[in-house]
Amino acid sequence: MTTKKATHQLTRQHNRDLVLRTIFSHDSISRAEVARVTHLTRTTVSDVVNGLLSEGLVEEVGRGESIGGKSPILLSIVADSRYLIGLNLAQDKFTGAVVNLRGEIKEIVEIPVHDDNGEKALKLVYQILDQLTRKKLKPIVGIGVGTPGLVNTREGIVVNAVNLEWQDLPLSQLLEKKYKLPVWVLNDSQAAAIGEYVYGGEHVPDKNLIVVNVIHGIGAGILINGRLFQGDGGGAGEIGHVVVQENGELCRCGKRGCLETVASARAVVQQMKMASLEEVFLAFQDGNSKAKAVVENAGHYLGASLANLIGTLNIQKIVLTGDMTRFGQEWLSAVNTSMQTGAFFRMTEDTKLEIGKLDYRACILGASAFLLLDDYSLLFNEEN
Amino acid sequence: MTTKKATHQLTRQHNRDLVLRTIFSHDSISRAEVARVTHLTRTTVSDVVNGLLSEGLVEEVGRGESIGGKSPILLSIVADSRYLIGLNLAQDKFTGAVVNLRGEIKEIVEIPVHDDNGEKALKLVYQILDQLTRKKLKPIVGIGVGTPGLVNTREGIVVNAVNLEWQDLPLSQLLEKKYKLPVWVLNDSQAAAIGEYVYGGEHVPDKNLIVVNVIHGIGAGILINGRLFQGDGGGAGEIGHVVVQENGELCRCGKRGCLETVASARAVVQQMKMASLEEVFLAFQDGNSKAKAVVENAGHYLGASLANLIGTLNIQKIVLTGDMTRFGQEWLSAVNTSMQTGAFFRMTEDTKLEIGKLDYRACILGASAFLLLDDYSLLFNEEN
């Protein structure tokens, strides 16, 4: 309700978020520069900064260069003033980490996953969180979970995660009850997208960004104006099941010739008839010609799908993350070539394709950072 | 710059837009109901409404039902208080119309297009606008142009329209200079999407909507949170050149097997070896089995592309417009069947697919309505 009082509070909250994000996205910054960037008045910035200083979220870290007059005091986020927990429920192992506000991993726990699904998989999640919350890092302000499958983030429900055999699992509710912390659940590829955006150097407000996560499966996270776009049902970015080969291999989704059946890490392992991606990677490094061909073919089909994504969304920055990025430049250039040929020149000429900077951390950091991005007030327990 | 003064003005502008849109999207509505819908105070609503009344944009149209107490006065947009011009630069004919604020067409001019392109095509545009501006409908507050091709809407430049042989044409600038009116140029499919959203009964704030325009070519307009998403380069929605048949027919874009080569009106005419879509339509109505098969096949491929769109964006409302919608329910059900089989059930189960309500008017109304949606202040010449 936008009563006068509420409007005033909303403005305060909005200003606080704006200032905090601005300080967050710089190593250090002066009050004057914050005012310039945010278009807020100097007075408003000072008031907000005083609040952040007293909460211990921000600190003064010395003086910057003078631009005529007194050299300004610089502000910086206190990286270890709060901690977040991020989880990545990947195919072969679950990983959890405690990270600070700068996305630095302070503690990490990994548990291999075999045929653990349903109730068993949930117990592994508890096991990781038990271990992480027992550590001495405090205060922890929330838990973010990146999981494969279709997720209803607002309600914290895993609608459908085939591998884990989770259907309509109220994961947020279960974890909130057990750990007394705010919990966000989101799709792993969407989490990876947030991770690259916030901690991978892409953190530009109003920016559009697509992050394509190529692991056991393939999914994308789409940021529009710096916000994760999840679609009406939470499933935006499910590009792994776009059909790229008529009458191709049978996919686990029941259709044939999905992108996942030719371009995912699993597809590559299957085509090489090997036991793991590690094995394929070693063969690839040794110059095994079949491995090269299989990886190039995988890149080719991924690129064709990216061309379609570009046609649909015309977003000019695409970042690739996940296991397949291990194949580096050779794979990337196969992807790029096919992406360029598959789309209009006028639409690809300004499109930049690159490999993400966070490696395996993307999903973990994204899951935790989602707490920051989406709702500061929730994260920092301010009045709502 | 968000100084205190600017903030105050922005708030006023925002409140005015909000109230105006609310009145616009109802046949008639009381001040109390406007306050309820907008969450503004009764006083603010009254102030804003007084302004709109004195501008002649809004009028009092009688009394509504009482809900205890005095029966409230109802407000309504004065449909003919302002006029807009909308243009549709379609393949075979250019159409221009003067429409009122309710999207009613008051005057319409059509000019058949043969091999008129480049400078000649531009002259046809002038010819239409000359005729329309000579009419006695006043005041005209702007011109909206829907054109095929890639458009830079912010700068009003047609970047590339292959059929018209326009490259980097500063159409807005040319028309603004000649007609002394604000001009918006946008892609025809994006215009059709705006048209269906504003005048086709989809006008729900914060709504996501995809409108797929199947004419000579195929394009889509994507509305996210009630706003047209154009991507970084203005080309979002270019789904006509997604490859759906490996080694298929050669497309005018130079690739093979694009969606346009199998699912567009042109493709259907070519496959039937007929002279026009009208001819195909008559054969189809007569029960010609080849015509049925060709139309069904076109629908099948379109549906497969929609499945991919759903996978990418998970937007649950899809509206089809354009010439191909003439084939009605049979075509629609072919599209729907293939869409349903091509995507995850959990993602399509809540997706609604239907034929648009505006027919040929979608692009014209959308091009003109863009003036309303994007910037009321521009349309109504209020202080900025």
d(CA B80, CA B77): 9
Q: With contact defined as beta carbons under 8 Å apart, do B56 and B71 qualify?
A: no
Helical packing angle, B289-313 and B277-285, nearest 10°: 110
Q: What is the pLDDT of residue B269?
A: 97
Mean pLDDT, rounded, for B229-244 = 88
Q: Minimal Cα–Cα distance from A286 to chain B, Å?
A: 33
Q: Minimal Cα–Cα distance from A348 to chain B, Å?
A: 9
d(CA B258, CA B305): 10
Q: Which residues of chain A make contact with B42, given a CB cutoff of 8 A?
A: none
d(CA A70, CA B115): 69
Nearest to B263 by CA among B322, B189, B205, B311: B322
Nearest to A139 by CA among A197, A103, A98: A98
Write the CA distances from B149 to B56, B90, B97, B123, B168, integer angstroms.
Answer: 38, 11, 21, 18, 11
- Flag whether pLDDT at B4 surpasses 60: no
d(CA B226, CA B237): 16
d(CA B57, CA A266): 62
Q: With contact defined as beta carbons under 8 Å apart, do A96 and A87 qualify?
A: yes
Nearest to B143 by CA among B360, B382, B384, B378: B378
Q: What is the pLDDT of residue A8?
A: 67
Mean pLDDT, rounded, for B211-239 = 91
Closest chain A residue to the Cα of B312, Cα to Cα: A237
Closest chain A residue to the Cα of B313, Cα to Cα: A236
- The band of B13, judged by pLDDT with boundaries at 50, 70 and 90, is confident
Question: Would you say the C-alpha torsion A39, A43, A44, A49 has a positive or negative sign?
Answer: positive
**Contact state of B314 with A253 under an 8 Å Cβ cutoff:** no
Residue type, A194: I
d(CA B358, CA B344): 30
Q: With contact defined as beta carbons under 8 Å apart, do A276 and A112 qualify?
A: no
- Flag whether pLDDT at A4 surpasses 80: no
Write the DSSP assignment of B188-203 as a string of letters: HHHHHHHHHHHHSS--
**Contact state of A233 with B347 under an 8 Å Cβ cutoff:** yes
Out of A372-376, B108-112, B220-224, least confident range: A372-376
d(CA A259, CA B286): 41
- Flag whether pLDDT at A383 surpasses 50: no
When CB atoms are compared, the residue of A243, A314, A344 closest to B232 is: A314
DSSP letter, residue B207: -
- Flag whether pLDDT at A167 surpasses 80: yes
- The band of B364, judged by pLDDT with boundaries at 50, 70 and 90, is very high
DSSP letter, residue B249: P
Mean pLDDT, rounded, for A341-364 = 85
Q: What is the pLDDT of residue B6?
A: 56
When CB atoms are compared, the residue of A160, A255, A347 closest to B235 is: A347
Out of A365-369, B213-217, B264-268, least confident range: A365-369
- Flag whether pLDDT at A380 surpasses 50: no
d(CA A364, CA A105): 9
Q: How many residues does this entry show for chain A?
A: 384
Give per-residue pLDDT as tens, A98-132: 999 988 999 999 999 987 788 999 999 999 999 99
d(CA A271, CA A290): 9
Residue given tokens 């394709």 in the structure block: A353
d(CA B211, CA B202): 11
When CB atoms are compared, the residue of B41, B208, B237 closest to A312 is: B237
Q: What is the pLDDT of residue A303?
A: 95
Q: Minimal Cα–Cα distance from B254 to chain A, Å?
A: 9
Q: With contact defined as beta carbons under 8 Å apart, do B314 and A231 qualify?
A: yes
Give per-residue pLDDT as tens, B15-37: 888 888 888 888 899 999 999 98
When CB atoms are compared, the residue of A235, A242, A341 closest to B308 is: A242
Q: With contact defined as beta carbons under 8 Å apart, do A66 and A32 qualify?
A: no
What tokens were used for A375?
């709702």
Q: How many residues does this entry show for chain B?
A: 384
d(CA B133, CA B145): 15
Q: What angle do CA A65, A67, A72 make, to 5 degrees?
A: 55
Write the CA distances from B244 to A247, B167, B260, B363, integer angstroms.
Answer: 13, 28, 9, 26
Q: Which residues contact A43 (CB under 8 A, 6 or more apart)?
A: none
Q: How many helices (H) and strands (E) does chain A have?
A: 14, 16
- Flag whether pLDDT at B8 surpasses 70: no
What tokens were used for A359?
């490696």
Q: With contact defined as beta carbons under 8 Å apart, do B112 and B92 qualify?
A: yes
- The band of B372, judged by pLDDT with boundaries at 50, 70 and 90, is low
Q: Which residues of chain A make contact with B159, given a CB cutoff of 8 A?
A: 346
Long-range contacts of B117-124 (CB under 8 A, 24+ apart): B117/B163, B117/B164, B117/B165, B117/B166, B118/B164, B118/B165, B118/B166, B121/B89, B121/B94, B121/B164, B121/B165, B121/B166, B122/B166, B122/B169, B122/B171, B122/B174, B124/B94
Q: Minimal Cα–Cα distance from A119 to chain B, Å?
A: 22
Mean pLDDT, rounded, for A7-12 = 70
DSSP letter, residue B50: H
Q: Which residue has the higher pLDDT, A162 or A157?
A: A157
Query: Is residue B162 packed enough to be buried (19+ CB in 10 Å), middle (13-18) or exposed (0-12)?
Result: middle
Q: Which residues of chain A make contact with B308, given a CB cutoff of 8 A?
A: 239, 242-243, 308
| Most B CBs within 10 Å, among A312, A338, A352, to test the B interface | A312
What is the Cα gyration radius of chain A? 22
What tokens were used for A58?
């921000």
Q: Which residues contact A251 (CB under 8 A, 6 or more apart)?
A: A241, A257, A258, A260, A261
Q: What is the pLDDT of residue A346?
A: 72
**Contact state of A41 with B3 under an 8 Å Cβ cutoff:** yes
Mean pLDDT, rounded, for B109-130 = 91
**Contact state of A344 with B150 under an 8 Å Cβ cutoff:** yes
Rounded to the nearest integer, the mean pLDDT of chain B is 88
Q: What is the pLDDT of residue A203?
A: 60
Q: What is the pLDDT of residue B53?
A: 95
What tokens were used for A285?
């490094």
Give per-residue pLDDT as tens, A62-84: 888 777 777 899 999 999 999 99
| Most A CBs within 10 Å, among B36, B313, B348, to test the A interface | B313
Write the CA distances from B65 to A30, A216, B70, B77, integer angstroms.
Answer: 58, 61, 9, 19
Percent of chain B with pLDDT over 70: 92
- Flag whether pLDDT at B47 surpasses 70: yes
- Flag whether pLDDT at B2 surpasses 50: no
Q: Minimal Cα–Cα distance from B311 to chain A, Å?
A: 5
Write the CA distances from B75 to A8, B62, B204, integer angstroms.
Answer: 30, 8, 19
- The band of A199, judged by pLDDT with boundaries at 50, 70 and 90, is confident
d(CA B292, CA B296): 6
**Contact state of A41 with B308 under an 8 Å Cβ cutoff:** no
Give per-residue pLDDT as tens, A226-262: 788 989 888 899 999 888 887 889 988 888 889 999 9
What tokens were used for A67?
């631009």
Q: Minimal Cα–Cα distance from B154 to chain A, Å?
A: 15
- Flag whether pLDDT at A90 surpasses 90: no
- Flag whether pLDDT at A379 surpasses 80: no
Query: Is residue B65 packed enough to be buried (19+ CB in 10 Å), middle (13-18) or exposed (0-12)?
Result: exposed
A vs B: CB pairs below 8 A: 140
- The band of A202, judged by pLDDT with boundaries at 50, 70 and 90, is low
Query: Is residue B96 packed enough to be buried (19+ CB in 10 Å), middle (13-18) or exposed (0-12)?
Result: buried
What tokens were used for A365?
């950091």
- Flag whether pLDDT at A2 surpasses 90: no
- The band of A39, judged by pLDDT with boundaries at 50, 70 and 90, is confident
Nearest to A366 by CA among A252, A167, A209: A209
Q: Minimal Cα–Cα distance from B383 to chain A, Å?
A: 21
When CB atoms are compared, the residue of A1, A159, A238 closest to B311 is: A238
Q: Which residues of chain B make contact with A245, given a CB cutoff of 8 A?
A: 246
Q: Which residues of chain A make contact with B231, given a CB cutoff of 8 A?
A: 208, 313-316
- Flag whether pLDDT at B205 surpasses 70: no
Nearest to B258 by CA among B239, B236, B241: B241
d(CA A237, CA A232): 12
Mean pLDDT, rounded, for B107-122 = 90
When CB atoms are compared, the residue of B235, B255, B346 closest to A159 is: B346
Mean pLDDT, rounded, for B363-374 = 77
Mean pLDDT, rounded, for B314-339 = 95
Q: What is the pLDDT of residue A9?
A: 67
- The band of A384, judged by pLDDT with boundaries at 50, 70 and 90, is very low
**Contact state of B313 with A229 under an 8 Å Cβ cutoff:** yes
Mean pLDDT, rounded, for A219-230 = 88
Residue given tokens 């140029």 in the structure block: B185
Nearest to A241 by CA among A308, A192, A327, A337: A308
Q: What is the pLDDT of residue B191?
A: 93
When CB atoms are compared, the residue of A229, A241, A304 closest to B243 is: A304
- The band of B336, judged by pLDDT with boundaries at 50, 70 and 90, is very high
**Contact state of A233 with B309 under an 8 Å Cβ cutoff:** no
Give per-residue pLDDT as tens, B169-189: 999 999 999 999 999 999 999
Q: What is the pLDDT of residue A78?
A: 93
What tokens were used for B35?
């306050």
Q: What is the pLDDT of residue A330?
A: 95
Q: What is the pLDDT of residue A348?
A: 79
Mean pLDDT, rounded, for B96-114 = 93
User: B97 forms bridges with which residues in the sheet?
Assistant: B86, B108
Determine if the peptide bond prior to B139 is cis (ω within 30°). yes
Q: Which residue has the higher pLDDT, B47 or A162?
A: B47
**Contact state of B231 with A314 under an 8 Å Cβ cutoff:** yes
**Contact state of A236 with B313 under an 8 Å Cβ cutoff:** yes
Helical packing angle, A119-134 and A171-179, nearest 10°: 40
Adjacency order of strands within the sheet including A105-112 = A105-112, A93-100, A83-89, A140-147, A183-187
Mean pLDDT, rounded, for B269-286 = 96
- The band of B383, judged by pLDDT with boundaries at 50, 70 and 90, is very low
